[in-house]
Amino acid sequence: MKMLWLAAAAVFFAMPAKAADRELMPVTIHEWGVLSWSGPGAVFSGAPETLPPVGDGGALLRAPVLYFHGPEFTGTVTVTTDNGTVSAVYPEASSGGAGRESCSWYGSFGYSRPDSRLLETAAPLNNPGADAGAPRFRDLWRTGQGMVCKSPCGWSEEFLYYETVPERLDFLPCLPGAEPVAARWENIPALVIRQADRGPVWTSCRLGDLADTALPEWEDMHPDKVHNVLREWSRNLIDLEEVDALWNTWTGWICHGHRDDPAYRRGMVIYPVPEELLDRISVIGAEVESPSPFPVRTRRYILAAVPL
């Protein structure tokens, strides 16, 4: 009888769980970008060389690059904002877009990679005067690691890109010319880059240290060291290949090119924007239609580059 009970127990535990009882693998959306200032306004961008002019008193938030990981699916990816409106999208959105509070892309997301020539058919950036943006840098942004979105409209792309125009950014921990950093944000890591007689120098610290005139020892600009710091900050957020795409896009501006921008002639403070503040910039989600209603998670790595 004891042996019979053990056999029955083995059969019971070997039975597959019902689909409703199993935790489905999530679809994970990764995002990276840099928030920079141009004159009186802020620019949230995928690339520094493509920043359009910013009007007096206005801020242009150019949201960056989205990647997709996890199980293949068909569905809709949507970006919404209650802090301004969407100003541009790439590739062409299925609904919404410029002048609206949201934009959506519908398609199939999978790991089958089309001929590279098909990727070139993606629609141009839907923003007059900024058509050199996403298309210009798309080879840097194609990491070959995530899923490809294939649209019924005929385009295929390894990333999605959008921009928004925010009405306010006063919730950020550190702003140009703002008061000392609030106590709750003091431990956020930061890089400080400034101009010295011998050229650009940098140091790492906390936002809470910025009011201290005795910052850690300054080092001559060393791109590999700065790159490693940004990689460390991104741990458990996005893939290293995606951080490298960010770095390959921004390295020239961060290390040297910012000196040509009047707002950054003295240098800058770079820090990761806290996760709990990102939805005040934009909200990213996906509605999965098939093959299963996979849960959706987002991992967002957004840097703020604040002029000194």
What is the 3 state secondary structure string of 217-259? CCEECCHHHHHHHHHHHCCCCCCHHHHHHHHHHHHHHHHCHHH
Residue 282: inside a domain, yes or no?
A: yes
Domain count, the chain: 1
The one-letter amino acid code at 188 reads: I
Are 35 and 305 in contact by the 8 Å Cβ rule? The answer is yes
Give the model's pLDDT for residue 241.
95
Please tell me the number of Cα atoms within 13 Å of 49 on its side-chain side: 14
- Site of tokens 């943006």: 133
Band of pLDDT at residue 132, cut at 50, 70 and 90: very low
Residue 10: inside a domain, yes or no?
A: no
Residue 16: inside a domain, yes or no?
A: no
DSSP type of residue 54: -
Residue 109: inside a domain, yes or no?
A: yes
Rg of the chain, C-alpha, whole Å: 22
Q: Is 151 helix (H, G, I), strand (E, B) or coil?
A: coil
Residue 47: inside a domain, yes or no?
A: yes
Residue 13: inside a domain, yes or no?
A: no
Residue 175: inside a domain, yes or no?
A: no
In terms of residue numbers, what domain contains 111?
Answer: 27-170+181-307
pTM, to two decimals: 0.83
User: pLDDT tens digits, residue range 32-84?
Assistant: 988 887 765 565 556 665 444 333 343 444 447 899 999 999 999 999 999 88
The one-letter amino acid code at 26 reads: P
Are 284 and 29 in contact by the 8 Å Cβ rule? The answer is yes
Crossing angle for the helix pair 240-255 and 223-233, to the nearest 10 degrees: 140
Q: Is 24 helix (H, G, I), strand (E, B) or coil?
A: coil
- For the ranges 132-141, 160-169, 229-238, the lowest mean pLDDT is seen at 132-141
The 10 Å Cβ neighbour count of residue 131 is: 15
Are 64 and 32 in contact by the 8 Å Cβ rule? The answer is yes
Band of pLDDT at residue 138, cut at 50, 70 and 90: confident
Are 153 and 161 in contact by the 8 Å Cβ rule? The answer is no
Give the model's pLDDT for residue 56.
35
Residue 283: inside a domain, yes or no?
A: yes
